[in-house]
């Protein structure tokens, strides 16, 4: 059994047992209790989302090869105005690292550098680039634009989200 399979199996066992203490060390009483992901996205603080996403969303935990198709699928499912916001935030954060929107347009073969005109595929390329090359920026954007997270379906992401959701809801068995 590979270490990835063991990791997935351990997550599933922890979920089945209600063991959620290993996910960041916070008790459920110190973080808010949420009814669902949308409730979490609306009521949680940006810092709370950033802390949780920084634990979950990193190439060392979920490979680029696993995350890329998930990002493309998720970006296709979000509303166009949310997609614009995600693209705009990626460009803003990457610009702070010295990467201009025009430079990224050429480097990533985007159809445009204008977030309002970008297709889902363009935003997917931008998100994938950030995840792979600048995971901290990816985590920041997800903390600012959490709508994208609820559309990820990768089993590993799902297991981690389930464990975190269990923690949020305080479901200790």
Asked if the model's pLDDT at residue 117 lies above 90, the reply is yes
Which residues, other chains included, contact 94 with Cβ-Cβ below 8 Å and sequence gap of 6+? Answer: 104, 130, 134, 137
Asked if the model's pLDDT at residue 85 lies above 80, the reply is yes
Distance from C-alpha of 78 to C-alpha of 150, rounded to nearest angstrom: 9
Residue 131 structure tokens:
């995840």
Does residue 41 contact residue 164 with C-beta atoms inside 8 Å? no
pLDDT recorded at residue 86: 93
pLDDT recorded at residue 2: 60
pLDDT recorded at residue 26: 41
pLDDT band, very low/low/confident/very high, at 8 (cuts 50, 70, 90): low
HSE, CB side, 13 Å, CA atoms: give it for residue 163.
27
pLDDT band, very low/low/confident/very high, at 5 (cuts 50, 70, 90): low
Cα 165 to the chain's mean position, in Å?
Answer: 14
How many residues are listed for the chain in this entry?
A: 173
Cβ-based burial of 12 (10 A; exposed 0-12, middle 13-18, buried ≥19): middle
Residue 25 phi, psi (nearest 5)? 75, 0
DSSP 63-99: -HHHHHHHHHHHHHHS-HHHHHHHHHHHHHHHHTTT-
Mean pLDDT over residues 84-109, rounded? 95
């Amino acid at each position: 059994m590979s270490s990835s399979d063991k990791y997935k199996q351990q997550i599933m066992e922890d979920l089945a047992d209600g063991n959620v203490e290993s996910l960041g060390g916070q008790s459920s009483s110190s973080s808010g209790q949420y009814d669902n992901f949308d409730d979490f996205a609306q009521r949680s603080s940006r810092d709370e989302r950033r802390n949780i996403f920084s634990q979950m969303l990193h190439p060392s935990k979920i490979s680029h090869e696993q995350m890329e198709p998930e990002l493309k699928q998720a970006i296709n499912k979000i509303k166009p105005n949310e997609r614009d916001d995600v693209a705009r935030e990626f460009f803003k954060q990457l610009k702070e690292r010295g990467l201009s929107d025009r430079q990224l347009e050429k480097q990533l073969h985007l159809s445009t550098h204008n977030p309002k005109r970008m297709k889902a595929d363009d935003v997917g390329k931008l998100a994938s680039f950030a995840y792979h090359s600048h995971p901290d920026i990816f985590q920041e954007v997800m903390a600012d634009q959490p709508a994208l997270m609820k559309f990820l379906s990768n089993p590993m992401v799902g297991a981690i989200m389930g464990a975190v959701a269990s923690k949020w809801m305080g479901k200790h068995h």
